[in-house]
Amino acid sequence: MKSIPVTPATLNVALRVVWFKPPEEALADPVHFLAHVMTFGTIEDLTTLQGIAGNDEFNEVLEHAPPGIFDARSWAYWNLKCGRQPAPPLPTRAGLL
């Protein structure tokens, strides 16, 4: 996956959706960052990322989604939006039932 450019706008999105780590660190892991945007982001956040992340990147996030970020509603929405039907099960942590 391509990197997310560090700009004032992307830093602002990162600060809001990945509140538990510095925004520069959040942007350094694009799959983790975009998973948070896809779950907690607003339309304004998605507009900010327009031209940076699109269907290819969103599909890649779904393929490699970190467990514990997506909720059922966001998972269903993004799988539908990316043409992945039926949606596979939500990612889970290894060793947990």
| Residue 75 exposed, middle or buried by CB count within 10 Å (0-12, 13-18, 19+) | buried
pLDDT of residue 79: 97
pLDDT of residue 93: 85
Helices (H) and strands (E) in the chain, counts: 6, 0
Residue tagged 């600060």 (tokens): 15
Low-confidence ranges of the chain (pLDDT < 70): 95-97
- In the chain, the N- to C-terminal Cα span, in Å, equals 30
pLDDT of residue 27: 98
pTM, two decimals, is: 0.93
